[in-house]
């Protein structure tokens, strides 16, 4: 069983594709999530169950900081209730295995510790997209701290039977931070066919000089660095355009970003959650995708870009180099390097055939990743299951 509390967004899409791949290998899989999931399963053996009382990021819109803080308090209560519902359902179902995606708040691992004491016949695991919890209300680049949080997370990690991460550096981080007693496996992130759908995608060499930044606008994602770099790009290539599409993080001054975008010119700013049916058109129109993160473990945006055959310009940080091969599927630059980022973007905007080759290679690199991930998960669950347990 996979558990992803949000019924939309990158983590839900990851869980959906992994669940589909596990079912394709003969496993019976359920994905428990919130209301109105943005993807529905047609894979035999895989069921998406909207049984948790959570919410859609798409319901948020763009609001003031005060509104977001008030809503955060309300949703904290709602999230605790969702964990209560989840716990009752898990106790009733007693699945062979439970895999969470990630935990962000102190009370979540507390629930996991309690569940581990009663679900003794279940294999409990975590897909640690972000092993170290970080705030989404203040500075998203800073890890959360505090003795209570640290003790709760460490206790939960040490009761798990298996952990999966998306790269070797992330594995090292997780092991050093939490000292888990279970194996920690690296699995790949695959393409996003659920997001792409059946539509044909425009070839890269048929695109205008458009750069796409996709996903939450957060300081750690380098949106300010990208704007500064794009100002240099426009000075060299006035016809170039930048599209910023995604929800607005709490540590970003929206008014300042919009003002800067207006002054630079040719920046199409689209703040707000992007509905899944609108994603394909954004990537279809782009020549390249920018991932200029200042801090990262991995990025689903890079895999989404490869799904649409788009090359990526990204920071050489975290496990991004494990996915984005410099000069093969994209270009890597140092984080916070405005000049290097501008130069890499200009290279792909000017050399369309080179950009197209990188995009094709990127699409090829993720084509069978989900089957590899599913096989590793199956093997790990079988190894982690106790005597007589069904993995």
Interval 369-390: pLDDT, tens: 999 999 999 999 998 654 334 4
Mean pLDDT of 135-163: 84
Write out the residue range of the structural domain in which residue 165 sits.
2-191+369-384
Q: Does 339 lie in the same domain as 243?
A: yes
Is there a single domain that holds both residue 133 and residue 235?
no
With 80 as the cut, is the pLDDT of residue 141 above it? no
Are 119 and 256 found together in one domain?
A: no
User: Residue 356 CA to chain centroid, in angstroms?
Assistant: 25
Are residues 51 and 129 both part of a single domain? yes
Relative orientation angle of helices 223-236 and 338-350, to the nearest 10 degrees: 50
Report the helix count and the strand count for the chain, using DSSP H and E.
Answer: 14, 13
Tell whether 311 and 275 lie within a shared domain.
yes
Please say whether the beta carbons of 43 and 2 come within 8 A: no
Both structure tokens of 71: 């809503």
Question: Could you tell me if 184 and 232 lie in one domain?
Answer: no
390 in a structural domain = no
Sheet with 210-214, edge to edge strand ranges: 267-271, 241-246, 210-214, 288-291, 312-315, 330-333
Query: Lowest mean pLDDT: which of 30-34, 224-228, 233-237, 380-384?
Result: 380-384
Mean pLDDT of 53-66: 67
Query: Is 217 within the bounds of a domain?
Result: yes
Looking at the structure, do residues 164 and 298 belong to the same domain, yes or no?
no
Report yes or no on 184 lying in a domain.
yes
- 168 found inside a domain: yes
Mean pLDDT of 149-162: 96
* Ramachandran region, residue 100 (left: φ > 0; alpha: ψ -120 to 50; beta: rest): beta
Higher pLDDT, 160 or 135: 160
Query: Is-contact 297 169, C-beta < 8 A?
Result: yes
pLDDT on residue 239: 98
Per-residue pLDDT reduced to its tens digit, 77-91: 899 999 999 999 999
Inform me whether the pLDDT recorded for 241 exceeds 70.
yes
Read off the pLDDT of each residue in 6-29 and give the average, rounded to a whole number.
96
The full length of the chain comes to 391
Q: Model confidence over 314-364: pLDDT tens digits?
A: 999 999 999 999 999 999 999 999 999 999 999 999 999 999 999 999 999
pLDDT given for residue 64 in this prediction: 63
Please check whether residues 6 and 93 belong to one and the same domain: yes
pLDDT band at 58 (very low <50, low <70, confident <90, very high): low
Mean pLDDT (whole number) for 234-249: 96
**d(C-alpha 61, C-alpha 52), whole Å:** 22
Tell me the β-bridge partners of 241.
210
211 and 346 belong to one structural domain? yes
In a domain, 48, yes or no: yes
Q: How far apart are CA 99 and CA 187, in angstroms?
A: 14
Pair (214, 158) in one structural domain: no
Tally of domains in the chain = 2
pLDDT at 298: 86
Q: What does the pLDDT read at residue 68?
A: 63
Secondary structure class of 32 (helix, strand, coil): strand
CATH of the domain at 51: 3.40.50.2000
Residue 143 pLDDT exceeds 80: no
The mean of the pLDDT values for the chain is 92
Q: Are 20 and 370 within 8 A, CB to CB?
A: yes
- Same domain? 218 vs 330: yes
Q: Whose structure tokens read 């955060």?
A: 72
Handedness of CA 65, 71, 77, 83 (dihedral sign): negative
Give the span between the Cα atoms of 246 and 301, in whole angstroms. 11
Indicate if the pLDDT at residue 59 is higher than 60.
Answer: no
pLDDT of residue 176: 95
Confidence of residue 65 (pLDDT cuts 50, 70, 90): low
Mean pLDDT of 252-271: 96
Let me know if residue 141 belongs to a domain: yes
Please give the average per-residue pLDDT across 258-275, as a whole number: 96
Tell me whether residue 389 is in a domain: no
Phi-psi region of 25 (alpha: psi -120 to 50; beta: other; left: phi over 0): alpha
Q: Map tokens 């102190």 to a residue.
A: 106
Residues 204, 174, single domain; the answer is no
In a domain, residue 233? The reply is: yes
């Amino acid at each position: 069983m996979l558990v992803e509390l949000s019924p939309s967004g990158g983590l839900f899409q990851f869980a959906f594709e992994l669940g589909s791949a596990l079912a394709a290998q003969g496993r019976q899989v359920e994905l428990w999530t919130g209301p109105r999931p943005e993807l529905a399963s047609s894979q035999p053996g895989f069921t998406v169950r909207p049984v948790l009382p959570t919410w859609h990021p798409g319901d948020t819109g763009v609001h003031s900081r005060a509104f977001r803080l008030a809503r955060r308090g309300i949703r904290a209560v709602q999230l605790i209730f969702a964990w209560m519902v989840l716990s009752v359902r898990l106790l009733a179902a007693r699945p062979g295995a439970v895999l969470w995606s990630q935990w962000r708040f102190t009370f979540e691992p507390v629930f996991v510790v309690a569940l581990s004491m009663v679900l003794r016949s279940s294999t409990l695991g975590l897909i640690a997209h972000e092993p170290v919890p970080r705030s989404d209300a203040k500075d998203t680049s800073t890890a959360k701290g505090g003795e209570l949080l640290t003790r709760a997370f460490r206790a939960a990690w040490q009761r798990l039977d298996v952990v999966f991460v998306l790269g070797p550096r992330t594995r090292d981080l997780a092991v050093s931070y939490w000292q888990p007693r279970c194996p920690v496996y690296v699995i790949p992130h695959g393409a996003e066919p659920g997001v792409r759908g059946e539509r044909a995608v425009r070839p890269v060499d048929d695109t205008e000089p458009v750069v796409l930044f996709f996903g939450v606008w957060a300081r750690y994602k380098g949106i300010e660095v990208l704007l500064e770099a794009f100002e240099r790009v426009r000075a060299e290539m006035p016809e170039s355009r930048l599209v910023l599409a995604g929800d607005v993080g709490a540590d970003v001054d929206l008014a300042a970003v919009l003002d800067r975008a207006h002054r630079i010119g040719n920046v199409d700013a689209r703040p707000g959650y992007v509905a899944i049916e609108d994603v394909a058109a954004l990537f279809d129109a782009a020549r390249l995708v920018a991932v200029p993160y200042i801090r990262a473990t991995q990025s689903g945006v890079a895999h989404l870009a490869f799904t649409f055959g788009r090359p990526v310009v990204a920071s050489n940080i975290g496990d991004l180099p494990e996915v984005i091969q410099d000069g093969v599927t994209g270009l890597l630059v140092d984080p916070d390097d405005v000049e290097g980022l501008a130069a890499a973007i200009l290279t792909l905007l000017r050399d369309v055939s080179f950009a197209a080759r990188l995009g094709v290679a990127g699409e090829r690199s993720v084509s069978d990743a989900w089957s590899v991930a599913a096989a590793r998960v199956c093997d790990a669950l079988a190894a982690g299951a106790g005597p007589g347990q069904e993995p």
